[in-house]
Amino acid sequence: MKKIFLVSFTAIIVLSMIVTLSITGCKTATTETTAAESTATETTTVSETTAAETSAEEIIEINLWDTNLPDTPNGQWLMGVIADYEAEHPNVKITYTQQPSLEMSAIMATLLAAKAGPDVMGYWPGINMFPIADSLVDLSKYATNDILDQYIPSIISTYYYLYDNSGKLLGMPNGGLGFHLIQYSKKLFKEAGITWEPTAENKYRMTWEEFLNACDALKAKGITPIAWGNNGGSMSQWYFDVMSLNYLEKDDWKKIFTGEQKFNDPKYVETATKLYDLYKRGYFNEGGLTLGWNEGLNMVNKGQAAMQDAFWGYNTEWAYTEMKDDYGIMLWPAINPSNSTAFAVESIIPGAAIVPIWSKHPDIAADIAIFISSTGEAQKYFDIVGGFSGRKDFDKSTITDPVDKMAWDMISNNENYPSVQDISWPPEIIPEFSGQSIEMLNGKITPQEFCDRLQTRFEELEYPWIIK
């Protein structure tokens, strides 16, 4: 874990803030200038082709928008992708425009109204693409099965096909693979007399009983067992999301998405009850419900708590840099080991390369979207950024850091399932969840009432894929 891997934070935060895409009242944009372009912070053109090599009439200009700042590791990687593509296709010139992450939903609304904009665009995958599906090119016409077979199957099926592999492929992976785990302090574990260590034999995770016993041992020593900064309820989503793998079966994600399974189904209620129980046992840091997100994520590396839910590729880097040999990682405990997904890894690629239907060169744009996560570029992503791409065919011998090796073993030796909130929850449910979770943890409503309120909000929605 030598390099900073920052692909996931903006996607995770933004997913908590997205509102339903609406094109009502949007201003008109043109291909040359859109309302969104006024918010762009930087534009970079890579590998200008000289007139001596290719005449102006033969040059194909492609506009690519994404949120990566060119001077960050992710931006440097993307600039390299562009340069590599242009080197292989000297008649193509790609102009990159960086867009602000927190304004992407508004930008997309403007583009949809104008039916104009970039040829290729980085956007959020999963359910966020579904409302704009009619405005996206079907990439299954360009991405062959040989290409798609190189990715973790559940990622392509749920995030980019949206459950129907015979249907429209709405995007291609763009960015690194992240997953939820628990980071912990080896020093604080030792002080509490905890001798457990993650191994391949125990699947890098405690049993639920071992986890509760560890929390009790830490608490008895005056050590805060679990850290979070849950102001506004956003961090509740992380814990609920990964804990739900112990109750949701593999087909439940689609049923939640369509409304066939309710948010107050006993599986959800049981997950909410387990989260409530952890909090009421006093395992979380005092004041955690009003502490800020970043403050909570820095507690373990500052020695203020023993464990916390973490996201590989985001706050794991901060802690590892500061804690060094004290840094430990493990997967979430198996709360309900008889469940089919209890030992799965919740893996997420927070980006999608999409091609809008207004692209003047959809075939070339589709080729670029596929190229972004091709084998060579996936390898460079690991080399430059330090993250895994979700492909299975990169050179594993280049993984030399012990923590990186353990992380790859965690991903590759367990089934991978998606984040339920990313691919099953309409945008309106996320703020509802955040607010109501604080009410539940404060004891104002029960876990059952919490889930009932989520279901009530869901039933108010009018998305065409929801079964009434």
Domains defined for the chain, CATH in brackets = 9-177+350-394 (3.40.190.10), 179-347+421-459 (3.40.190.10)
| Phi/psi of residue 66, nearest 5 degrees | -160, 180
Which residue's structure tokens are 């201003």? 27
- 34, amino acid identity: T
Quickly count: other Cβ atoms within 10 Å of residue 439's Cβ. Answer: 15
Q: How confident is the model at residue 427 (pLDDT cuts 50, 70, 90)?
A: confident
Residue 456, pLDDT score: 98
Q: 3-state class of 50 per DSSP?
A: coil
411: Cα separation from own chain's centroid:
15
Q: At 417, give phi and psi (nearest 5°).
A: -130, 155
Which residue in the block uniquely carries the two structure tokens 């492909």?
391
Tell me the H-state helices in 160-292: 186-191, 208-220, 234-243, 252-258, 266-280
Res. 9: pLDDT tops 60:
no
pLDDT of residue 1: 58
List Cα–Cα distances, 58 to 30, 63, 87, 90, in angstroms: 23, 16, 15, 10
Give the residue-averaged pLDDT of 160-166.
91
Cα-only R_g, the chain = 22
d(CA 287, CA 289): 6
Can you tell me the mean pLDDT for 417-427? 89
Residue 360 clears pLDDT 90, i.e. is over it? yes
Distance CA 125, CA 130 (A): 9
Q: Which of 29-38, 119-128, 159-168, 188-197 has the highest mean pLDDT?
A: 188-197
Q: Which residues pair with 346 in a beta bridge?
A: 417
Rounded to an integer, the average pLDDT of 237-259 is 93
Q: Is the pLDDT of residue 98 over 90?
A: yes
How many whole angstroms separate alpha carbon 90 and alpha carbon 368? 13
Q: Where residue 152 falls among pLDDT bands split at 50, 70, 90?
A: confident
Of 155, 157, 179, 153, nearest in space to 168 by CA? 157
In terms of Cβ atoms closer than 10 Å to its own Cβ (0-12, 13-18, 19+), residue 226 is buried
Average pLDDT, the chain: 87
Paired tokens of 189: 């574990």
Q: Which amino acid is at 197?
A: E
Q: What pLDDT shows up at residue 114?
A: 94
**Binning pLDDT at 50, 70 and 90, where does residue 313 land?**
confident
Q: Give Cα 91 to chain centroid, integer Å.
A: 34
Q: What is the pLDDT of residues 19-74, one digit of tens each?
A: 333 322 332 333 333 434 433 333 444 444 333 444 555 899 999 999 999 989 89
pLDDT surpassing 90 at residue 11: no
How far is 386 from 467, CA to CA, in rounded Å?
Answer: 42
Which H or E element spans position 431? helix 429-441
Q: Count CB atoms within 10 A of the CB of residue 68.
A: 25
| Terminal-residue alpha carbon distance, the chain | 47
Q: Whats the size of the chain, residue-wise?
A: 468
Exposure class string for 241-279: b at 16+ Cβ within 10 A, else e:
bbbbbbbbeeebbbbbbebebbbbbebbbbbbbbbbebb
Mean pLDDT score, 229-240: 95
Joined together, the tokens standing for residue 10 give 């903006």
Q: What is the reported pLDDT for 57? A: 57
Render pLDDT for 380-391 as a digit per residue (tens, 0 to 9): 999 898 888 888
Q: What is the pLDDT of residues 255-284, one digit of tens each?
A: 999 999 999 999 999 999 999 999 999 999
Tell me the residue ranges of DSSP E strands in 4-101. 42-45, 60-66, 92-98
From 149-153, 211-215, 264-268, 454-458, the region with the lowest mean pLDDT:
149-153
